[in-house]
Amino acid sequence: MTKARFLGHYTIAAFALVLSGQSLAADKVTLGHSGTVSEALYFIAAAHGYYKNEGLDVTHTYFDSAAKEIPLLATGELDVGSGPVSAGLFNAAARGIKIKIVGNRLAARPDDRSLLFLVRKDLIDVGRVKSYADLRGLKIALVAKGIGTASVLNEAAKRGGISYADVEKVYLPFPLQAAAFQNRAIDGAFSAEPFVKDLIGAGVAAPLGTWGDIYPDFQVGVMLFSEKFAKERRHVGERLLRALLRASRDYQDVLDHGRFSSGPKADEIVRIIAEGTSMKEHLVRTISLPAIDLDRPVNLEALQKDLSFFKAEGDIPDATLTADQLVELSMLNRALKSLGPRERTK
């Protein structure tokens, strides 16, 4: 359905409500975010009026960690959230926390360089590390145990013919990894922008691969609805997903191989993201951008693979849990049907 056609339908519906004496109040939705570039579609939807067009009053609530959204999603105090695929997400579901994966927020494509597997440059220069097989015995930094990049590291080890246990894991947040590289306290790390640019620029690290190369279509992040919102306000959820699909398509339309293209449309998206993330516009232009594409289906096969890995590592005690128990795609499928396929602009 085109935007003009949809707005026409919406206007007719509004007029009918006025004639019947009913007030046309926007449906309130609370949405949690962490202010990252990978959540750009939320900021774009607000700036382009897509929430308003759908009759929604969306409140964006900032969380310094996506994990802090889960308890509020469980109680229904927060309607919508997003987060990385992790053992914590699966364990929340296993403990009866009622949340649903309703869409693909972020997936790792082969050309996605927003997260790189970096290795100390001196190890590469002397030939100590040439391939994933050389990871045996090395200290590789992950932000935490039981996170999605642990599963990516497992895939890298398998590609090198070694096991995950053959690699020594060190747990460090992104900001502390730079000093660890410089002090040779770690040999490698999965690092994200803007830290990647700084580490490579300083000459202390060099890329061994991307997460998209190592684990194609890895389901990095997902969009979450509270079960209460998904069950009791499905029509609102569908309209929200329509708004976010439009925003996701706006974002995709101005990308060119992981960077923003030139022109006024791209400049506008850059300004919106810079404001939403408190980043400088020139920095938004220089980083490798994540593959945000709500049109792409949730990769259930990847979710199940990650779940099996976390179970094998002892991060998830519930042996009966399956990934499909968390997934509810009917609202997104209806939103996609009503909008029609994405029209490629380039």
Q: Taking 60 as the threshold, does the pLDDT of residue 281 lie above it?
A: yes
Residues 124 and 257 in one domain: no
Q: Taking 70 as the threshold, does the pLDDT of residue 6 lie above it?
A: no
Residues 86 and 32 in one domain: yes
Sign of CA dihedral 161, 151, 277, 64: negative
Residues 97 and 226 in one domain: yes
Residues 229 and 325 in one domain: yes
Q: Taking 50 as the threshold, does the pLDDT of residue 139 lie above it?
A: yes
Cα angle value 169/303/70 (rounded, 5°)? 80
Residues 165 and 187 in one domain: yes
Q: Taking 80 as the threshold, does the pLDDT of residue 13 lie above it?
A: no
Token reading at 193: 């922008």
Single residue among 166, 193, 214 that ends a domain in this structure: 214
At residue 60, φ and ψ (nearest 5 deg) are: -85, 125
Residue 66: the pLDDT is: 80
Find the mean pLDDT for residues 91-112. Answer: 88
Confidence of residue 3 (pLDDT cuts 50, 70, 90): very low
* Segments of the chain assigned E as strands: 27-33, 56-62, 80-84, 99-108, 115-120, 139-142, 168-171, 188-192, 205-210, 218-226, 255-256, 259-260
Residues 297 and 239 in one domain: yes
| Residue range 48-101, pLDDT digits in tens | 999 999 999 999 999 877 888 988 998 999 999 988 899 999 999 898 888 999
> What's the domain range around 170?
115-214
Confidence of residue 196 (pLDDT cuts 50, 70, 90): confident
* Residue 344 belongs to some domain of the structure: no
Residues 92 and 165 in one domain: no
Q: Taking 70 as the threshold, does the pLDDT of residue 37 lie above it?
A: yes
* Residue 67 belongs to some domain of the structure: yes
Q: Which residue has the higher pLDDT, 73 or 287?
A: 73
Give 10: exposed, middle or buried? Use CB within 10 Å, 0-12, 13-18, 19+: middle
* Residue 327 belongs to some domain of the structure: yes
Number of helical H runs and strand E runs in the chain:
16, 12
Single residue among 151, 180, 214 that ends a domain in this structure: 214
User: How would you classify the pairing of strands 218-226 and 99-108?
Assistant: antiparallel
| Residue range 220-250, pLDDT digits in tens | 999 999 999 999 999 999 999 999 999 999 9
**Which residues have a Cβ under 8 Å from the Cβ of 225 and sit 6 or more positions away?**
73, 79, 80, 99, 100, 102, 237, 328, 331
Are 286 and 233 contacting, i.e. CB atoms less than 8 angstroms apart?
no
Number of domains forming the structure of the chain: 2
Integer Cα distance of 274 and 282 in angstroms = 9
* Residue 20 belongs to some domain of the structure: yes
The one-letter amino acid code at 211 reads W
Domain CATH number, residue 190: 3.40.190.10
Single residue among 165, 186, 214 that ends a domain in this structure: 214
Residues 30 and 149 in one domain: no
Q: pTM score, two decimals?
A: 0.84
